[in-house]
Amino acid sequence: MNLIFERSHTGRGCEILPPCDVNEYPLDTKFVREKELHLPEISENDISRHYTELAKHAHGVNDGFYPLGSCTMKYNPKVNEEVAALPGFRNIHPLQPEHTIQGCLEVISLAEHCLCEVTGMDRMSFQPAAGAHGEFTGLLLIRAYHEARKDTKRTKIIVPDSAHGTNPASATMAGYSVISIPSTKDGSVDLDKLKEVIGEDTAGLMLTNPNTVGMFDKNIMKISEMIHEVGGLVYYDGANLNAIMGIVRPGDMGFDVIHLNLHKTFSTPHGGGGPGSGPVGCKELLAEFLPNDSIESKEGTFYLEKKEQSIGRVKEFYGNFLVVVRALTYVLTLGKCRIKETAENAVLNANYMMKRLEDLYPMAFAGPCMHEFVITLEELKKEKGVSALDIAKALLDYGIHPPTMYFPMIVHEALMVEPTETESKETIDQVVEIFREVYQKALETPEALHLAPVKTAVGRLDEVGAARNPKLRYVFEE
């Protein structure tokens, strides 16, 4: 399709402004641009068609199956959008005085209460804008805690090798050195290896459970005990709470600080860069360090409070407020019982799909899994030359989004599948048939799969070329 600049014609436009009825004020030449600004000149009709055409080229949850493991691309109830669009939530200004936004403060406070209940934490801040931002904030809390106790030898954060890539990155940004520990064959933390690396210099451990290979680490109580014994704190990466919410709580597994991804588990659509929300929850011992301002209430009145020991602000104002509104709507519409049912369905769907595929697709870890499972195509690659990438691209021709590829990094030729709780049995059955058909093709006509996709707007991309010679902006003809 044409780019918007290629649709442009000089003199076209869609602005209808009344004649100017004030005196013109000539700008000082130093403020005036020397060259014409490149803007497309295009009629409203053509703009509308342009973006509709673009939208048709994109694939979203509303188009079809989207099993992007570790990302939770689920269907998000429209009622959340309706509530977030209410004028009282949408039209406020962040600098409005407290007494005029009591309802909004109550939303944040109630969301804090509900999500603390779900996670077993004591306090929560909604400032961080995404998961990685939440991790960074959580690590600053750990840092502030050790510093307040003048315990300055603690320079290391332990991260298992199965962790999401943001974990070591956040720990490094927070000024820690990262100690990576290997996982056992079933994907859990190797306790002997853990024992070897912990000590007086351990600031903490970052972990997710279920871990990034979709398995629940049964030794979790032992692990958090080991870290606490040496004076460290335990961080829970709660980006994907789908499998466990309403069933077990990180707080009860010994975790001191967590983040959630409201844009994954708690029903804000994501992709394309935001907005997201990565609230940080913590136990009482870290609460005084949470970002300013915290929202408190007294006799039914809500107010903002600056805490002296706070790590300070990590984002302007209240964080992405409307994402919090969606999360609260989601939690309140589900209620305690159905939050649990949601988690059960996420796990059931993943296990059902895994079972229906495992005779063809080799699984990296024996089930049962939690809310996602990992396929390894190492053998297929060796025998037929068909890679995880080829399979993923072939799936595109069936109108479904491929699973996450080449993650977690400890699995070769990995495909990580997360069907989510919102897919019906019929959809999963259909998708299973597609997966099976693609596998047959891989065995019978492996060369054909190197060319896939052939039915999409854009075919197989030259990924090496794109990485070596990236074209990041439109080049105008002079």
- Using CB under 6 A, list all residues that contact ligand PLP: 70, 130-132, 164, 166, 208, 212, 237, 239-240, 261, 276, 278
User: Of 254 and 278, which has the nearer Cβ to ligand PLP?
Assistant: 278
* Shortest distance (Å) from residue 407 CB to ligand PLP: 9
User: Of 132 and 442, which has the nearer Cβ to ligand PLP?
Assistant: 132
Task: For residue 263, give the nearest of 31, 76, 93 by alpha carbon.
Answer: 76
* Shortest distance (Å) from residue 15 CB to ligand PLP: 37
Task: For residue 74, give the nearest of 272, 332, 263 by alpha carbon.
Answer: 263
Across the beta sheet with 177-181, the strand order is: 123-125, 280-282, 257-260, 233-238, 202-207, 156-160, 177-181
* Shortest distance (Å) from residue 20 CB to ligand PLP: 46
Q: Which residue is nearest to ligand PLP (CB)?
A: 131
Task: For residue 409, give the nearest of 168, 73, 65 by alpha carbon.
Answer: 168
DSSP 8-state class, residue 329: H
* Shortest distance (Å) from residue 51 CB to ligand PLP: 25
Place of tokens 């896939």: 452
User: Of 202 and 209, which has the nearer Cβ to ligand PLP?
Assistant: 209
User: Of 166 and 387, which has the nearer Cβ to ligand PLP?
Assistant: 166
Q: In sequence order, which residues have a C-beta less than 8 Å from that of residue 317 and are 6 or more positions away?
A: 94
Burial 168-183 (b: 16+ CB within 10 A, else e): bebbeebebebbebeb
- Strand pairing class (301-305; 294-298): antiparallel
User: Of 70 and 137, which has the nearer Cβ to ligand PLP?
Assistant: 70
* Shortest distance (Å) from residue 384 CB to ligand PLP: 31
Tokens coding 320: 């992405």
* Shortest distance (Å) from residue 166 CB to ligand PLP: 4
User: Of 243 and 386, which has the nearer Cβ to ligand PLP?
Assistant: 243
User: Of 129 and 226, which has the nearer Cβ to ligand PLP?
Assistant: 129
CA distance 43 to 45: 5
